[in-house]
Amino acid sequence: RSALWVFCDCADMARSGTEKPFILFLSLFFAIFACVAIVVLAVAAQTSPSSSSPSSPTSSEDKEEYTILVSLDGFRHDYFDIHPGKAPTLESFRRDGVYADRMVPIFPSKTFPNHWSIVTGLNAESHGIVANSFYDPVFDEEFHLWSTRAVRNASWWGGEPIWAAAEKSGLTTACYYWPGSEAPVGGVRPTYYKAFDGSVPLSTRVDGVLNWLALNKTARPSFVTLYMESVDHQVGTGNPPPALT
């Protein structure tokens, strides 16, 4: 069995006040919450070892489970209505899968705090990532999302991310970008991970995930994250309204 979770993050747009009240955007954070088994099953079928005869329903290969967590940072809930037909694959996720009408972010509604909450289940006051950039009087240091030294320092990242729990359970995990994935939290990193590089095209990132899923069964990750920030950098706080982009 396989599952694809897509988080469309419009939290930063909540602060811009460009089109709708702040509270509405907060309530619609991560507006599309899709779990599309059929799509990922197709991917799994393409990446599974070929066989001359149909696989047995009870084979170990059929019992493998894969979860892919995708974040589209800054992708608002209403883009499908504003730009119909521009994202047919995502629209098919909503149409054929399962989605939530609305979700509420943690406070503050910033990228790093919320993405770390997604993978730890903790609020910011518990996991410690209280903003994208902040000063910690205990460490007497500043944390900044663009600081390689900071993002790779496990001391900043409280809680246990899902990939660490999975690795401890003997599963293989992979992160093609995700806040916190570069740090050895609890002494554990994903088996495969990429240091963030915003210049890497989205197509290259997707290909990287597909290559991981094409590995042989013993090396293939059971849990994969994929983070895409391009929409947020185009229409986030201080940028033009989505109707103009």
- pLDDT, one tens digit per residue, over 78-91 is 788 888 898 898 88
139 in a structural domain: yes
User: What residue spans of the chain are helical by DSSP H?
Assistant: 11-16, 22-27, 37-47, 79-82, 88-96, 111-120, 124-127, 148-151, 162-168, 202-213, 230-235
Alpha-carbon distance of 217 to 135, in angstroms, equals 44
76 in a structural domain: yes
70-74, 146-150, 176-180, 222-226: least confident range: 70-74
Residues above pLDDT 90, as percent of the chain: 53
The range of the structural domain enclosing residue 221 comes to 2-50+60-244
pLDDT of residue 1: 65
89 in a structural domain: yes
Does pLDDT of 6 surpass 60? yes
Tally of domains within the chain: 1
Span 26-42, average pLDDT: 34
Alpha-carbon distance of 67 to 35, in angstroms, equals 9
Interior/surface letters 69-91, b for 16+ CB within 10 angstroms, e for the rest: bbbbbbbbbebbeeeeeebeebe
Q: What are phi and psi of 165, to 5 degrees?
A: -60, -40
68 in a structural domain: yes
DSSP-assigned beta bridge partners for residue 173: 223
150 in a structural domain: yes
CATH number at residue 68: 3.40.720.10
Span 138-160, average pLDDT: 96
111 is catalytic: yes
55 in a structural domain: no
Sorted by sequence, the CB contacts under 8 Å of residue 7 that are 6+ apart come out as: 30, 32, 33, 69, 70, 71, 72, 118
Q: pTM for this structure?
A: 0.73
Which DSSP category does 169 fall into? T
Highest mean pLDDT among 4-8, 46-50, 91-95: 91-95
Point out the catalytic residue in the list 67, 111, 173, 225: 111
Sorted by sequence, the CB contacts under 8 Å of residue 54 that are 6+ apart come out as: none
pLDDT of residue 204: 97
Say if residues 182 and 149 touch (Cβ distance below 8 Å): no
